[in-house]
Each structure stands twice: as C-alpha cells, then as structure tokens.
Copies of this chain bind each other. A is one copy, B any other.
Amino acid sequence: MPAIISLTTDFGLKDGNVGAMKGVIWSIAPHVQIADLSHLINPQNVHEAALVVARAAPYFPDGTIHVVVVDPGVGTERRAIALRLGQQYFVGPDNGVFTRVLKRAASQGWPVQAVHLTRPEYWLPRVSAVFHGRDIFAPAAAHLAAGAPLEALGEAIGDLILLPLPEPQRTPSGWRGEVLHVDHFGNLTCSIRREHLGEHPDATIRIAGVKIHGIVGTFGERPPGELVALYGSSEDLILAVVAGSAAQRLNVKPGEIVEVDY
C-alpha cells in the first residue's frame, strides 16, 4: 500500500514551489501518493493552516504524513518538528500550526511523540534559509514514508508551541464565540460547535447587527439568497447565504463576534 503525504502551504499555485516539494518527495519515496490540502492559506496565517489540516486529517488513513508549511519564522531559531499523533504523522515548523491536531490527540487520549528535526542526513544536502518546505520538511516526510522511524529524525521534545484557541463562552442566554474561517463560498465557520449548542433548532444567532432565526439542516431547505445557520461537515456552526456569500453579505472577517441565544 503506497504511503500518503498531504501538503498544506501558503505558497500559492503559480511559482512551482509545491512542484519542487513533490520532486523531492518522489526522489526519496517514488511510490508515495501526494494530496494537496491547500496552497492558498493566507500568507503567514498559522491559525488558518491549523484549522484546514485539523479538518481534513481525520479523513486520511493510518500512516498518512501531513506536511504543513506556513512558516514566517523560516531560517530563524524556530524549530523544525515531526509528530506522531495516534496513527498519523505531522511535519512542519514548531509555530503552533499543529495546535488543533494536538488538542484532538489529547482529547482522544492518543499517544503523542514529537521530535526536533536535527539530523541533516534526512534533509537535502543544501538547505536554503528561506525554503525549508523543500529542503527539510519534504525530505523528512519522504523518509518517514520510506520507512524511517520518527525517532531517527531528531531528538525527542515535549514543549511544543501552542496557539491560543478562541473557545466560545457561555452567556446567560447561550454562547458567545467568533468567526474562525471564511471558506471559498463565503460561508462563515464559527468557534461555536454542535457540542456546545446541542439541538436548538429555534436558536437565534446574532452577528454584525443581523439576526438569524433557527438552525436549519441543510442549504436546500431555504431559498437562494436567504441567510441561514446550520452545522457544517465538521460539526461547527456555519453561517451561510444560500447560493451566495455570507462573508460579502455581512462584510465580516475571521474574529467577528457571533452570539447564540436559546
């Protein structure tokens, strides 16, 4: 069974840099299947990358290696790391980009193993100061895919950098959270999740001076153009305009406050 490597970066799609990473990977591990998760993470947005990889990773099989390169500190003292969380691997900079997958591992009681990538024999021979995705992370991931044990790649470490994650707060009448992500359709992913709200189909959601009444089951229950709340495919509360863009309608960005009363 071929190993799988997923790639998440802020490199964009026009300059060939993702392609160079694939060349490096296949030079070391020719049979690997490579899946692009996103190369359109907003530049340097570690929070967004953390969310994208945490949402997609559960749908990959055991043994998958997720490489995440959103790395404003490339070439500085920030560490390059590799993790084993349960049955999957993660490779990238130690800047908090793995906060959400680490949190899931903790909540599931999965074994966690982390190493600082200190062994240059698992990198390219020449390492530039500005492109560790190609020179360190891709080859390290490919060596994992080719069978190198995690502990061979570097020293065990335990004190990983974590991002503060905005947790929704209880209010007298419900929950107060924020917008975490605006997707391709302009749908707004909120920090409030089904596990917080439960089933309150008649809840009222307030955002940017607008009220949404009720939580629907899916987009098609309401006519095009209507602003709706529903649970997304990862059980997050989503605010959406049917066949439209809630981000444009409401003119909001990540960080915008969302309140739910029920």
Contacts and interface: CB of A to CB of B under 8 A. Distances in A.
Nearest to A129: B218
A243 B38 contact: no
A243 B78 contact: no
A151 to B, nearest CB: 26
Interface stretch (A12-20, A100-108, A156-164, A168-176): A12-20
B220 A27 contact: no
Given A20-B59, A55-B16, A243 B37 contact: no
Nearest to A77: B220
Given A40-B13, A243-B44, A219 B75 contact: yes
A243 B221 CA distance: 42
A61 interface: yes
A11 interface: yes
Contacts of A40: 12-14
Output the residue of A24, A231, A233 with the most chain B CB within 10 A: A233
Contacts of A44: 243
A78 B4 CA distance: 34
A1 interface: yes
A24 B41 CA distance: 22
Contacts of A6: 19, 23
Interface in A113-139: 128-131, 134-135
Contacts of A91: none
Interface in A48-82: 52-53, 55-57, 59-61, 64, 72-76, 78
A235 to B, nearest CB: 8
A230 interface: yes
A30, A56, A75: most-surrounded residue (chain B CB, <10 A): A56
A76 B221 contact: yes
Given A27-B60, A233-B130, A12 B184 contact: yes
Given A15-B52, A217-B75, A22 B41 contact: no
A107 B27 CA distance: 23
A36 interface: yes
A56 B20 CA distance: 5
A16 B56 contact: yes
B243 A72 contact: yes
Given A130-B218, A130-B238, 16 more contacts: A1-B31, A6-B19, A6-B23, A10-B185, A14-B40, A14-B41, A14-B183, A15-B55, A16-B37, A19-B38, A34-B35, A43-B185, A128-B233, A129-B217, A131-B233, A135-B233
